[in-house]
Amino acid sequence: MEFRHLGRSGLMVSEISYGNWITHGSQVEEDAARECVRAALDEGITTFDTADVYAGTKAEEVLGRALKGVRRESLEIFTKVYWPTGAGPNDRGLSRKHITESVHGSLRRLQTDYVDLYQAHRFDNETPLEETLKTFDDLVRQGKVLYVGVSEWTADQIAQALKIADEMGFDRLVSNQPQYSMLWRVIEAEVVPLSEKEGLSQIVWSPIAQGVLTGKYLPGQPPPAGSRATDPSGGNFISRMLNDDVLTRVQDLKPIAGDLGLSMAQLAVAWVLQNPNVASAIIGATKPEQVRDNVKASGVKLDAEVLKKIDDVLGPVVERDPAKTVSPEKRP
């Protein structure tokens, strides 16, 4: 496993990290979840990503139990705040009240005294940015959070936050967590150039497009049994990508992966890691074999000719519009 700096900070993260959205506490039962975390640790992954909202807060508990007994100093644990964790109007968003209550819940569920990276899961249009950033800064000073970052923020929102932090002397954002894959490249036009200039990294989610880039979803065929597309919660998220034009083109990537001696999942993870602004690709898995397959992408170099072939195959199905990075106008 290779390691990269998180933004301009001194923190190193494994360039492949393990995330438990959808899987732990819901689709995958606890034993399988523990086996996936064990496989991740065995394969050299040290960075783990979760969120207060995943599986209605159960995902953090499962991860906390799975990591119990592992030397804390050998792990980087990331979590997030914003999406609702309860029914009340203050159980959501980035207010001082919700952030403070949510981080305490996360620390309890994860069974740790601090998280390495705390991320604003979306931009909150109903809370002054100063209030959010001051609260984050307080958590850093209290030692409950070591670094702060965001997820799915636009370049403009990140720039606003950096300006306030610099004026007020607050801790600066070190990272953004966007969706990024061969099929979804919306960060490339604006977020990446700003992040390079300002010293933020991307920690990217769904690098294999939730399974689509493995090539296991075939055009014109029902999804394979037990895959995310057949899961009641996962199915909703993946359905956007399950159209025959996308699936046919993805099948055409198979010879490219084959010529390189890579699995399709390895090719997809390696592809996001070619972008030097990416500090880590967060992989999801329902089975330990998937973790063992996907981690082999660490250290793989793809040359310009291969990247061009991929672009030629995918052509117009690649999404590049920066306007696709959106946070809800009102809190959910």
Ligand X SMILES: NC(=O)c1ccc[n+]([C@@H]2O[C@H](COP(=O)([O-])OP(=O)(O)OC[C@H]3O[C@@H](n4cnc5c(N)ncnc54)[C@H](OP(=O)(O)O)[C@@H]3O)[C@@H](O)[C@H]2O)c1
Neighbours of 244 (CB within 10 A): 11
Question: Known catalytic residue: 217?
Answer: no
Question: Of the two residues 130 and 251, which places its CB atom closer to ligand X in the complex?
Answer: 251
Looking only at Cα atoms, what is the longest distance across the chain? 56
In sequence order, the 6+-apart residues with CB closer than 8 A to the CB of 309 are 256
Question: Of the two residues 167 and 330, which places its CB atom closer to ligand X in the complex?
Answer: 330
User: Which regions of 151-285 does DSSP assign to beta strands (E)?
Assistant: 173-176, 201-205, 278-283
Q: Can you tell me whether residue 198 is helix, strand or coil?
A: helix
Tell the smallest beta-carbon distance from residue 26 to ligand X (Å): 11
Q: Do residues 25 and 54 make contact, with C-beta atoms less than 8 angstroms apart?
A: yes
Q: Can you tell me whether residue 150 is helix, strand or coil?
A: strand
Structure tokens at 328: 């809800």
Tell the smallest beta-carbon distance from residue 183 to ligand X (Å): 10
Tell the smallest beta-carbon distance from residue 169 to ligand X (Å): 28
Catalytic member of 54, 82, 147, 180: 54
Tell the smallest beta-carbon distance from residue 260 to ligand X (Å): 16
Q: Cα Rg for the chain, rounded, in angstroms? A: 19
Interacting residues toward ligand X by CB under 6 A: 19-21, 23, 49, 121, 151-152, 177, 205-211, 214, 216, 227-228, 265, 282-286, 290, 293-294
Question: Of the two residues 165 and 285, which places its CB atom closer to ligand X in the complex?
Answer: 285
- Asked whether the CA dihedral 67, 12, 2, 314 is positive or negative, the reply is positive
Tell the smallest beta-carbon distance from residue 168 to ligand X (Å): 26
Q: Do residues 130 and 136 make contact, with C-beta atoms less than 8 angstroms apart?
A: no
What is the C-alpha to C-alpha distance for residues 284 and 282, in angstroms, rounded to an integer?
A: 7
Question: Of the two residues 86 and 235, which places its CB atom closer to ligand X in the complex?
Answer: 235
Tell the smallest beta-carbon distance from residue 116 to ligand X (Å): 14
Q: Can you tell me whether residue 38 is helix, strand or coil?
A: helix
How many whole angstroms from its chain centre is CA 18? 9
Residue 178 φ then ψ, to 5°:
-105, 165
Catalytic residues: 54
